[in-house]
Amino acid sequence: MGQIYDFIYNLLPYLGMWLYGFLRSLGLSEEAVFLVVGLIKAFLLANFGLIGFAILTYVERKIVARFQDRLGPNVAGPYGILQPVADGIKLLTKEDTMPAGADRWVYNLAPLIIATCALAPLVVIPFGPGAIGADLSIGVLYVLAVGSGALVGVLMAGWGSNNKYALLGAFRAVAQLISYEIPAVLSVVVVVMIAGTMSTVGIVQAQDVPYLFVLPVAALAFLLSGVAEVGRTPFDLLEAESEIVAGFHIEYSGMKFALVFLGEFVHALVVSALFAVLFLGGWRGPWLPPYLWMLIKMSVGIFLFFWLRATLPRIRIDQMLNLNWKFLTPLMILNLIGVALVDKGLRAAGVSGGMWAAGLFLFNMAMLIGALALPGYLGRRARMAALAAEAEAEAVEAAMAAH
């Protein structure tokens, strides 16, 4: 039984070694073998993103429909499972239009850049021991850098469309995405500081206790920032139809629109996978195979995205930016400094293991409670001041009326 579990646990490394030996037996050189293996990995990861995109479009419709007491897709195939296929056929056969006066190269390249920058971070996501495209020593930095490249595609789409609504939507999208990059990066820095490595595999291996229970403030900030960066409800101002006529991609149709749509869903998939790696222990877990644990943890993050969409209304852009600049970013700066000091103090005192994790957790909870209580206190004080000013004005008016 132990041998079977060991084989399942190391299935992908075994397949990799078999493939390497098979290619070498064909007489290929070392460089050629690495090239072929790299191409196979890229093909598998790209198809994982594409298949995940197709599945998520169906799953989201079903989940949101259940939240809203509807059936969701139920015509194309049993239980509507062929709906992604029907959508793909529809998008393939739709007319490919281009606005008059559009910048041809910029307009056409934008969807490709958005889709590529969404798929590229999958290279450093570990799905199990040895199941990773490339274990870079700066894996987290690579994800942040490549994922931010979608900003360029968004701006290109808005500018190249020669449409004022699209350009306005692109500017607003870039403002939103750049703003929420800051707390996301700060939360990742906290994890890297505690784990002592920027390798995604190293971060998973460092989590004897999942960092969700050690660094809950960083986990919450990363999740909120991820929702905003993906452009999901309640931060879906990138395509606020009632305000900017569907945003930066209003002029796209057919497969170009599908690439933009793919970028959004794959980005959500990557954020969920990165959340699982940084805060949920990645593939680590008892009894079940590691690949299954990773998929389960990714599914939890994705379900949260769908849950928020079905529950919360869209907020205003000033509320969204105020939440970032006046709450999340200052909180994460203080959290970074505080976690560094507490971690240093605990290690200097010789505290480790569960007591070290409990100490950091208590500090994070105290900071979170204080951060949530302070706006309430300031809000009450502002309301009392406004009521006092109103009462004083009424008293002055009454005195003047009496005279």
Mean pLDDT computed over 186-213: 89
The rounded distance, in Å, linking the Cα atoms of 117 and 95 is 26
- The pLDDT mean for the chain works out to 83
Taking 60 as the threshold, does the pLDDT of residue 166 lie above it? yes
pLDDT, tens digit, 9 for 90 and up, residues 124-151: 888 888 778 888 888 888 888 888 888 8
Tell which wins on pLDDT, 237 or 320.
320
The rounded distance, in Å, linking the Cα atoms of 114 and 174 is 13
Mean pLDDT computed over 195-203: 88
Average the pLDDT over each of 211-225, 228-242, 298-312, 376-390 and give the range with the smallest value: 228-242
Residue in the structure block whose two tokens are 């870039």: 174
Per-residue pLDDT, 244: 61
Crossing angle for the helix pair 254-279 and 104-119, to the nearest 10 degrees: 30
Mean pLDDT computed over 312-340: 87
Average the pLDDT over each of 17-26, 210-219, 235-244, 286-295 and give the range with the smallest value: 235-244
Mean pLDDT computed over 37-57: 83
**CB distance 49 to 118 below 8 Å:** yes
Crossing angle for the helix pair 254-279 and 164-195, to the nearest 10 degrees: 20
242: pLDDT confidence band, cut at 50, 70 and 90?
low
Per-residue pLDDT, 186: 92
Mean pLDDT computed over 262-266: 85
Mean pLDDT computed over 296-321: 86
What pTM was computed for the model? Answer: 0.86
Q: Is 96 left (phi over 0), alpha (psi -120 to 50) or beta?
A: beta
243: pLDDT confidence band, cut at 50, 70 and 90?
low
Highest mean pLDDT among 45-59, 97-111, 180-194, 350-364: 180-194
Mean pLDDT computed over 178-196: 89
Taking 70 as the threshold, does the pLDDT of residue 215 lie above it? yes
* N-term to C-term CA, the chain: 97
Q: So where are the chain's domains?
A: 1-87, 94-394
The rounded distance, in Å, linking the Cα atoms of 96 and 246 is 18
Mean pLDDT computed over 74-94: 83
Around Cβ 378, how many Cβ atoms within 10 Å?
Answer: 10
The rounded distance, in Å, linking the Cα atoms of 9 and 348 is 37
Per-residue pLDDT, 94: 82
Among candidate residues 50, 42, 46, the one with its CA nearest the CA of residue 265: 50
How far from 114 is each of 120, 154, 199, 253, 361, CA to CA, in Å?
10, 7, 25, 15, 37
Tell which wins on pLDDT, 379 or 135.
135
Per-residue pLDDT, 3: 61
The rounded distance, in Å, linking the Cα atoms of 30 and 33 is 5
> pLDDT > 90: what percent of the chain?
6
pLDDT, tens digit, 9 for 90 and up, residues 98-107: 888 888 888 8
Residue in the structure block whose two tokens are 């000091």: 341
> Which residues fall within 8 angstroms of residue 226, CB to CB, at 6 or more apart?
184, 271, 272, 274, 275
DSSP string of 331-373, one letter each residue:
HHHHHHHHHHHHHHHHHHTT--HHHHHHHHHHHHHHHHHHHHH
Taking 70 as the threshold, does the pLDDT of residue 375 lie above it? yes
DSSP string of 257-301, one letter each residue:
HHHHHHHHHHHHHHHHHHHHHHHS-TT--SSS-HHHHHHHHHHHH
The rounded distance, in Å, linking the Cα atoms of 208 and 189 is 19
Taking 80 as the threshold, does the pLDDT of residue 9 lie above it? no
Per-residue pLDDT, 376: 75
Per-residue pLDDT, 189: 92
**CB distance 111 to 260 below 8 Å:** yes
